[in-house]
Amino acid sequence: MSEMFGEIVITAERAVAGSEADKSTLAQLLDGIDLVGAGEPEDRAYLAVLLDWLGMSEQAMLALRPAGGEHGDRGAGKRNLAGILSSGHGDYERAYELFGRALADTGDGTSLRAKILANLAALSLLNGEVRAASAWLAQANDACGQLSNVATDVLLASTEFGIARVRNDLPGMREAVARLNKATRARVKELGSDHPLSLTAVASLAAADFELAATEESVENQERAIAVLEVAAHRLAADLGDDHPQALTCMENLCVADLRLALASGRMDRARRAASALESVSRHMAAAVGEGHPLAREAAANAASARLDREDGQAPDSGVDPADERLRQIPVTALSRLADNEVRNALSHELGLLTGNSTFTVVEFDAGAANIFKVSRDEHGTPTAVRWEYSYEDGVLRAGEPDQWSDAMADPESFYRHVAPEFIVRTPDHLPSGLRNLLPGPHEVPVHECVTPLRELLLAAMKEDPLVLGYELAVIKRVPADYTGTEGLVLTGQPLFPPGAKQGDFARIDVTCGPTDDEGTVFAVVTREPRPGLPWQARRLRPLQVQAAVVPPGSYALTAVLTRPGEVRFEGLPVPLGDSRRSWDYLNRLVPDRQTAQAPVHLVCLIEVCGGDDLLQQRIYRLEELISMAQANGGPLRVSVIAYGAHGVAWMVEDKPPEIWAWAASGDEAINALRGLLYRRVDEREYQDAAQLECALKLVRERLTAADGRPVIVTTGGRPAHPPRLDEEMQLIPCPDWVDGTSEFGRLLSLPGIKFGAVRDPKYRGWIWEQLGQHAAATTDDAVDMESFAEGLGLRMATQTVPFPVIK
């Protein structure tokens, strides 16, 4: 742990203990520091919890951002924790996403996986998705198996109880409470009696006990549960502070329990106190976590319900409609939420009925205008809406440009015949007379009174709309080799999300990115043309979202997150994606028919070591250049180095044959071998007019195998080969072994695909050098265009670009 990071942790600990000064200092210490790179992962997780506790949730999330190299369970653990914190802040959408990614990153059979599944089950239940909660719960129970984790057991038992309660499953509730009791005991034993999490666990158990007792109508058991809830609420508030969400939640549970029991037993004074306390808890909860937080909304709803319940216990005084009276007493936030939910549910229902080219309209009336929303689906099934606004002045429709609805806005009959809204949303404001005239009569089109703008509710409903067409990722797939032996390539779709998938769902997919042009690899989400008569694979792909980035070639584990219908976020790439500038047709044309696989190459370097160190160094340098260039091409390459000199023909001079310094080695090994040739000891009696070129060629021919790759023979030197017999014309002594260089060259030349290159001394001699340089030739002391030289030998190929991710 760095000194700075250590100071941050200690300051955060002091701030959590209640030091306001340290909280200020902490903010200064955190300013500008990159928490991702600081501290060990476990220390950062600890710091994140402290920061979250202090309300510094953004910094907490930054501390939990996985650093480079943190993959697998370690990264998953961070995301799981981040999900827990997000859930605590009421950001269920983000929590789902984080848990989903954590789940994708963690392996089977680990306790972490069981924890994540348990968290997903609990989160689903919190979000009111009982069926999903039940499914996650089953998976979590399976994953737990023999893995014993007390915290997970508590969470699973709580979730099990919640599901049973929602389903009015009394035996299930009993079973779950028994399991929760056992798990809570273990939890308290594990953490000790003074740990806040122990307190929270006991409070949850007491709340579950109360629910069960209330369902069983056992007053005595309800009293016992309330007594425990009371102490737990006090202890949590004393330890964590009275505005801590856990303390407030426990207090809320206590108040609700007390209210219910008081109402059931007709103790109205006690009910009034409990209702009043619930109002107080609701206010504090809203102040502590924000009004939009699910906990605050629930507390407001409970407080509102408490007022209603209390009223139920009293006879109405006079001619006041009790229902109306109740509504007036419900806090505005709760009323607004109830109306919002009603409208959102109605919108979701209409969206569910929306298929093909059909449309529906909904209308909003407020104090100064009417808004007509026409909702339809695009070709991908994504809901879209168009809005028309009509302003009213002095109660009368203001004249504007005529459009398809303007006439209908002035005539109620025409309005309901042409606009034909499924329902109308009106604000509580006083409506202009022109709009009041448009309001329907009883039992006609439903009218909802709502404070939240219809546009916001519609956007929210569209965001939560399940997919009607499956989403796929456009990928290149290899198809089996044809008669030429090369694999074909096709652009197709890899399924990501099936129809019915919802916001927050995720999918994992492994892809490989190849070399690309400057525009990068395209990550396109596509749907298939809905033509039931055609086989699925034959249906045309239609781009929904096309993004691109220059991604380094390699394999990537992608996570696709459905952020809303029509939008998918990809994670797992080292660079961010941006919108692609190229058309879909153009991108289709970029897909190669087949992949040009580079055949392996065996570059054999024959180097003459005669002529002194300067000359030898020049030869070595040229060969190094060539090997480096061949390596950079990226194809499979093997390199051999054979050094040869002159035959030892003088008295007592040893005749050393050509020597293999490297064979079928890597480029780097070959370069090292070449450098080892320098500073060789030269025998002054060495023959000066020829070199063992013919023997070197013979050695190559004998050693070459097809398995090492297509041969490329590059020779550097200048002396002629020893002839197989005395060459009187050039006055050259023959090879002691009578090897015929011409014959050896001819036999090599017959090998399929072989190429010859030569880097010749300025004063080279012998016809064979022309032959050895027949595909590429250069001179050691001249500037060599090594790219052209390599291209001549087939050592440099134009790189094939792959515009889409490739999938096996």
Site of interaction with other proteins (CB under 8 A)? 17-20, 177-178, 180-181, 184-185, 188, 193-194, 198-199, 202, 205-206, 208-209, 212-213, 218, 220-221, 223-235, 237-243, 251, 254-255, 258, 262, 267, 269-270, 273-274, 277, 280, 284
CB 61 within 8 A of CB 78: no
Rounded least distance, CB 184 to other proteins, Å: 6
Rounded least distance, CB 201 to other proteins, Å: 8
**504 three-state secondary structure:** coil
Q: How far apart are CA 239 and CA 662, in angstroms?
A: 74
Closer residue to other proteins, CB minimum distance, 190 or 422: 190
Q: How far apart are CA 43 and CA 658, in angstroms?
A: 63
Rounded least distance, CB 45 to other proteins, Å: 25
Rounded least distance, CB 302 to other proteins, Å: 14
How many residues are present in the chain? 808
| Nearest alpha carbon to residue 573 among 586, 590, 588, 560 | 560
For residue 137 the two structure tokens come to 């719960």
Rounded least distance, CB 14 to other proteins, Å: 11
Closer residue to other proteins, CB minimum distance, 231 or 451: 231
Rounded least distance, CB 145 to other proteins, Å: 23
Closer residue to other proteins, CB minimum distance, 208 or 616: 208
Q: How far apart are CA 143 and CA 110, in angstroms?
A: 8
Tell me the DSSP string of 100-159.
Answer: HHHHHHS-TT-HHHHHHHHHHHHHHHHTT-HHHHHHHHHHHHHHHTT---HHHHHHHHHH
Rounded least distance, CB 28 to other proteins, Å: 20
- Side-chain-facing half-sphere of 379: CA atoms under 13 Å: 12
Rounded least distance, CB 270 to other proteins, Å: 5
Q: How far apart are CA 749 and CA 701, in angstroms?
A: 10
Rounded least distance, CB 22 to other proteins, Å: 11
Closer residue to other proteins, CB minimum distance, 225 or 790: 225
Closer residue to other proteins, CB minimum distance, 239 or 686: 239
Q: How far apart are CA 716 and CA 622, in angstroms?
A: 9
**376 three-state secondary structure:** strand
Closer residue to other proteins, CB minimum distance, 151 or 797: 151
Do strands 360-365 and 369-377 pair parallel, antiparallel, or not at all (unpaired)? antiparallel
CB 215 within 8 A of CB 173: yes
Rounded least distance, CB 520 to other proteins, Å: 55
Do strands 710-717 and 755-760 pair parallel, antiparallel, or not at all (unpaired)? parallel
Helix (H), strand (E), coil (C) string for 418-474: HHCCCCEEECCCCCCHHHHCCCCCCCCCCEEECCCCHHHHHHHHHHCCCCCCCEEEE
Closer residue to other proteins, CB minimum distance, 270 or 477: 270
Closer residue to other proteins, CB minimum distance, 202 or 424: 202
What DSSP character marks residue 320? Answer: S
Closer residue to other proteins, CB minimum distance, 73 or 175: 175
Q: What is the largest CA-CA distance in the chain?
A: 139
Closer residue to other proteins, CB minimum distance, 269 or 593: 269
- Bridge partners of 644, per DSSP, are 608
- Bridge partners of 525, per DSSP, are 473, 545
Rounded least distance, CB 389 to other proteins, Å: 43
Supply the Cα-derived Rg of the chain in whole angstroms.
40
φ and ψ at 715, to 5 degrees?
-115, 140
Closer residue to other proteins, CB minimum distance, 161 or 756: 161
Do strands 776-779 and 755-760 pair parallel, antiparallel, or not at all (unpaired)? parallel
Closer residue to other proteins, CB minimum distance, 262 or 299: 262
Q: How far apart are CA 48 and CA 30, in angstroms?
A: 12
Rounded least distance, CB 218 to other proteins, Å: 7
Rounded least distance, CB 337 to other proteins, Å: 24
Rounded least distance, CB 84 to other proteins, Å: 22
Rounded least distance, CB 29 to other proteins, Å: 20
CB 494 within 8 A of CB 509: yes
Closer residue to other proteins, CB minimum distance, 148 or 688: 148
CB 352 within 8 A of CB 358: no
| Nearest alpha carbon to residue 307 among 285, 289, 323 | 323
Closer residue to other proteins, CB minimum distance, 144 or 199: 199
> H helices of 724-799, where?
741-749, 768-772, 786-792
CB 467 within 8 A of CB 497: yes
Closer residue to other proteins, CB minimum distance, 87 or 222: 222
